[in-house]
Amino acid sequence: SATEWAFSLAIFFLGMSAAFLGNVVEKDIHKSSLIATICFSVGMAGTGFFIYYGGQQFAANGEGSVLALVGIYICYGLIMGIGLGTGYLSPVKTLMLWFQDRKGLATGLAVAGFGAAKAIASPIMQSMLENLGDGGIYKMFLILAAVYFVMMFVGHLLLKKPDGWHEPATKEKGQGILDVIKSKPILNYVGIWLMFYINITCGLALISQEKMIVKCIGLAGAVGIISTVSAIFNAGGRLGFSAWADTMKDRNTIYKMIFIISIVLTGAVLLTNGIQNGNGNTFLIVLVLALIFMVNAGYGGGFSNVPTLLSDHYGMGSISAIHGITLSAWAFAGLTGNQMATWIVNHFGEMVEVNGNMVNPVGYQTVLYVTIALYIVALILSLVFVRPTEKALEAKAAKKAAKEQA
């Protein structure tokens, strides 16, 4: 639908702006955070304006406006997407510098904002829509544009690197980011990019169908509560998995765990036909909810561990630029994840009634067959292509030597 494409475009430009503006973030954190503030708030205000314009055209002519739709795509998809991408990158390296002994926790705190925002903003936005009367949607966008501008501008003013920090010389003069990446086996980086892409694609595929799956297992009345809980798991995964990774010698272990958990739970739901048979079956309801919550947690954890995994492999000197390039995986996953799930649901199975709601259980199960296959591929990538860092290998060798001496 038009709404889904607006969201997909926002995610695409989020990832691509991060990829192309990573060097700007690296060179000037204040410039990048100001770009993020302006683009995000202007994009949100512009979206509100074009929603209003489209409504006026519909009232006058009885049909939608192509100009309004294009305006929404540009404002919500392109401009807000750029604001999201630069805003996503700007605090990450800074926090890693302030908390160098707990880099995972630091990035988890930064990235958790993306997950926690859903739990905080969704009820506020719903309340605004219910109380703003006619034109509530465009009014909500305009009000939030002003509120977010103030909040982000304050953050922009407060953002700074630790006193006395000097960028390490991780690349020679004239050497590009791609040269830094190629300093290690290229398959190592390709493996990181692909498993990041797959984790996001699978997460978006399931999350986009989350509400319909909940209705399918007979919990239509609890959709709002379950959505909030899944958002908490999303944010908790970003913080919890990244903090846990700080205790590990090889941060790639976290990804292996995320993929194994996702494979086991998806396989269990498929083997029991949990989505099709879940209505009225407490065990299957719990199993399906466990899958939804843990995929959300793994989706969030995948985001928060990428910058620290990259810094372990390529150093801190160019981490914003390398992280930005890696976020291009998010851009392409944004175009494939929820669109893939929607296509599958539209072409497999058929709509049936469950407690007064029209759902497609076979379609949702088919989505899981695709995601479990992708999770298996991601696990293989994490095992075969993403090699342990020298630090992890040295720690393993030291542990082995200590055992032999004992």
Q: What is the DSSP letter of 100?
A: G
Give the residue extent of every domain in the chain.
2-159+177-405
Integer Cα distance of 214 and 285 in angstroms: 9
Q: What pLDDT is attached to residue 122?
A: 78
Residue 357: strand, helix, or coil: strand
254 vs 248: CA distance, rounded Å: 9
CA distances from 187 to 183, 191, 252, 369, 379 (A): 11, 6, 15, 27, 15
93-107 pLDDT, tens per residue? 788 888 877 878 888
Least confident of 62-71, 233-242, 245-254, 274-283: 62-71
> In terms of Cα–Cα distance, which of 115, 190, 175, 199 is closest to 374?
199
pLDDT digits (tens, 9 = 90+) for 225-262: 898 899 889 888 988 898 888 888 888 999 999 999 99
Angstrom distance (rounded) from CA 68 to CA 99: 45
- Give the residue-averaged pLDDT of 104-126: 79
CA angle (292, 296, 298) in 5-degree steps? 115
What was the pLDDT predicted at 92?
81
CA 190 to chain centre: 19
**358 — phi, psi (to 5°)?**
-85, 120
Pairwise CA distance, residues 396 & 316, whole Å: 23
pLDDT band for position 177 (50/70/90)?
A: low
Share the mean pLDDT of the chain.
86
Average pLDDT over residues 157-185: 67
Has this prediction a pTM greater than 0.95? no
Fold adopted by 2-159+177-405: Growth Hormone; Chain: A; (1.20.1250)
Residue 320 pLDDT level (bands cut at 50, 70, 90): confident
Nearest to 319 by CA among 18, 33, 81: 18
At 354, phi and psi to the nearest 5?
Answer: -130, 110
Range with the lowest mean pLDDT among 48-52, 197-201, 376-380? 48-52
357 bridge partner residues: 354
